[in-house]
Amino acid sequence: MEAKLDCVIHSDPPAEVSWYQDSFLLQPTDRRLMSSNGQTYTLTIRNVQMSDFGNYSCNVVNSIGRDKRYIELSGKPGPARISSPSYSNPHEYLLTWTVQSVFPILDVRILYRRVMINATYQYPGQWHDLLVKPSQRYNSATGERYQSYKLTGLTPDSVYECLVQTKNQHGFGELSDLHQWFSSQKGRPLVYNSGEFLHRKYDFLKFILILCLHKIGNNFTK
C-alpha cells in the first residue's frame, strides 16, 4: 500500500518545506519520497507499515515567518459507502456497502430506524443498534472491502434510514452518510395513518416543496 500526503503552499517570498512525523524531522529514503509540483508538496510513503501511522506535519519557513499544518495517517477504515437500492422487499432489505481498509474488518455497527411520514411532518422512530460480523470480499488493487447484511422484520410500505460504521484492528472508522430506503416495490405509493397517498420517490417530495414555495412567491408578488 502507498500513502500520499499533500501540502499546498502559497508563499511569497519562496519557502522551504519540511515534513515531520510527530516531532521527528523526516528525511528521504527508499520508501519515503518528497516531491513538489508547483504549489503542491507531496510526501509519498511506499509499502506502508505499522510504524508509519501517526500524525504528520508540513512545516513552511520563509524570510517573513513560518507556518505548519497537520494531517493524520491512520489505519482505521474509511467511512462506508452504502450502495443498496432505494427500494426493498416488504419485510427485508439487503444492505450492501464498500469500505476502504487495508486491514480486515472485524466488526460492523449498523443503526437503522423506521421514519413515520405524512404530508406535514416526519417522526423518526427508535434506533436499532446492531453489531455484526458479515463476510467480506477484498480488492487488493483498490484496498476496498465489500460487505453486506440482510435486515429482516421490516414493516411494509415504510420509510427506513440507516448508518454503517466499520471497525478493524485500529478501531472504528467514521460513520457513513445517512441512507434511506422504502420497504415496498418501486412505484407503489405509501399509505399513512392519515389516509393520504404519497409517492415514495424523494424527487416527488422535493416537487411538492418547490411547488409550495412557488405559490408563496406568487402571493407575495400580488
- Domain 81-211 falls in which CATH fold? Immunoglobulin-like (2.60.40)
How far, in Å, CA of 208 to CA of 211, rounded?
Answer: 5
Burial 88-120 (b: 16+ CB within 10 A, else e): beeeebebbbbbebbeebbebbbbbebeebeee
* Extents of the domains making up the chain: 3-73, 81-211
Nearest CA to 143 out of 97, 102, 173 is that of: 102
Sheet containing 81-82, strands listed edge to edge, beginning at the edge strand earlier in sequence:
81-82, 92-100, 144-152, 136-139
Exposed (0-12), middle (13-18) or buried (19+): which is 210, by Cβ within 10 Å?
exposed
Encode the chain (222 residues) as per-residue pLDDT tens digits: 788 999 998 888 888 999 999 989 999 999 999 999 998 999 999 988 889 999 999 999 999 999 999 998 888 999 999 999 999 999 999 999 999 998 999 999 999 999 987 656 677 889 999 999 999 999 988 889 999 999 999 999 999 999 999 999 999 999 999 999 999 876 565 554 433 334 434 444 444 344 444 444 444 444
Give the pLDDT of residue 123: 78
How far, in Å, CA of 121 to CA of 135, rounded?
Answer: 38
Give the pLDDT of residue 141: 83
Distances (CA, A) of 49 to 3, 45, 94, 217, 218: 10, 9, 35, 60, 63
Location of C-alpha cell 511506499: 46
CB 145 within 8 A of CB 87: no
CATH of 3-73, picked from 3.30.70.60, 2.60.40.10, 3.40.50.360, 3.40.640.10, is 2.60.40.10
Give the pLDDT of residue 189: 54
Query: Is 81-211 the same fold as 3-73?
Result: yes
